[in-house]
Structure 1
């Protein structure tokens, strides 16, 4: 698997969420941006576990992604963040990203991986990014696929 391509595909999947009226669109990048236009999803650090199966047939990548929301109004910002972190619904990042798994028997992320799973949400708190404060959280996403590609 090629981490850069996986990162971009995760950002593409995140962009498909539908935020509540008046919020605008979620911006998303497959990399840590210098600055963000909130609300923003980005793929941050990741770990790779090689050789989960013999002969480089399976690697496992675990991505830490962040979603940051403007804190112009603390309560409203947290309501938007909660919608993004929901397990289901039009604004759910979990639902949008897991839709990129494809149909049964298909590879995930347009053929880049065998499968993926949004495992958990963590770190719901205030974040500083490029000198600006945001309310945000992290999503941990596991992606598995061939190690020899």
Structure 2
């Protein structure tokens, strides 16, 4: 799997969500941005577990992604993050990202991987990015696929 292509595909899948009225559009990127335009989703760190099957047939990528919301007021910002972290609904990142699995028998992320799974949410807290504080959380996403490509 090509890590850069997978990062971009995760960000593209996340951009399919629909935020509540008045919030604006979620800015999505496959890389950690220098400056955040909230609300924002980005793919951050990656852990690579090579050779999960013999002959380079399976590698596992674990991406730590972040979602950050501005601080209009504490409650509004946290409601935006809550909607993004929900397991279903129009603003659900889990639902949007896992829709990129494709139909049964199809490759995930437009052919880049065998499967993708949003495993968990962690670190719901205030984040310092640049010189600004945002409320947000991390999502851990597992991607598996052919290690020889």
Equivalent residue, structure 1, for 2:121: 121
Deviation at 1:137, TM superposition (A): 0.1
Gaps of 5+ in 2: none
Equivalent residue, structure 2, for 1:140: 140
Offset from partner CA, 1:43-62 (integer Å, 9 cap, x none): 00010000000000000000
Offset from partner CA, 1:58-101 (integer Å, 9 cap, x none): 00000000000001211000001000000000000000000000
Write the mapping of 1:1-149 to structure 2, written as runs, cut at 5 A.
1-149=1-149
Offset from partner CA, 1:84-141 (integer Å, 9 cap, x none): 0000000000000000000000000000000010000000000010110000000000
Q: 1:8, 1:35 → 2: CA distance?
A: 18
Gaps of 5+ in 1: none
Matched positions, count: 149
Q: 1:105, 1:135 → 2: CA distance?
A: 38
Deviation at 1:36, TM superposition (A): 1.0
TM-score normalized by the length of structure 1: 0.99
Q: 1:113, 1:71 → 2: CA distance?
A: 36
Q: State the superposition RMSD in angstroms.
A: 0.4
TM-score normalized by the length of structure 2: 0.99
